Amino acid sequence: MSYVKNSTGGKILAVTQAIIDRVDSQSVSSGGTWNPTIPNVGSAGQYFGLTVSPIRADSKILFQGFVMASCPDAGTIMMILRKDGSDITEALGTNVSSRRPCHSAGYTPSGTTASCVSLPINYLMPLSSATPFEFHIELAHESGSTRTMYINRSSGDTDNNKFGRYVSVFTATEFLS
C-alpha cells in the first residue's frame, strides 16, 4: 500500500465518459455472476462499461462513476471491476478466503420493488501499454437462490412516478503524474 504525501498535479491527456441509460436484467443463480452487456448497441456483446484508448503507455487512468442496480430480496449486490473480461484484482478486496472479492456493494431492501442502489466506482490504474481495452463490470448477489438482477431500473418498473429510470456513468481520466 502506498500513500501520496506531497503531489504536484499531473497533465490530463484524455477524458472518456459513457453515460448508459439502457435497462437490462438477468436471472443469476446463487453464487453466480452476471457480466452485463449494453443492450441494443451497434456492436453486439459490448460490455457494460466503456472502451478506453490510452494515449501513452506510461500514464495512469482514474476510473470514476457508478452503476445503478437492483435485486429484490437478494440483500447485497456486489460489483467487480473488470478489464477485457478479466477481474482487475488490484481493484478488489483481498484476504477473501471463501468470500467474493469485490470493488463495492450496495443493499436492496427486502420486499420493495421501487428501490435501486448506486454502486460506486473509484480506481486508479497504472498502464503498461497504450493498447485500447474495455473497462466494465460484473455483478453478483448474496441470495442463496436464483434472483433477477436489474440495471438502471428497479424490479417493479411500473409506469408511474413512484418508479425511476436511471443512468450508470463511467468516466476514465488519463493523466501523466
121-154 pLDDT, tens digit each: 999 999 999 999 999 999 999 999 999 999 999 9
Nearest to 106 by CA among 97, 115, 95: 115
Q: What is the pTM of this model?
A: 0.90
In angstroms, the CA 118 to CA 133 distance is 24
pLDDT given at position 65 = 98
Written as nine digits, the cell of 49 is: 462499461
pLDDT given at position 88 = 97
Which positions of the chain have pLDDT values less than 70? 1-9, 41-45
Residue with cell 459490448: 46
DSSP bridge partners of 69: 117, 151
pLDDT given at position 45 = 65
pLDDT given at position 73 = 80
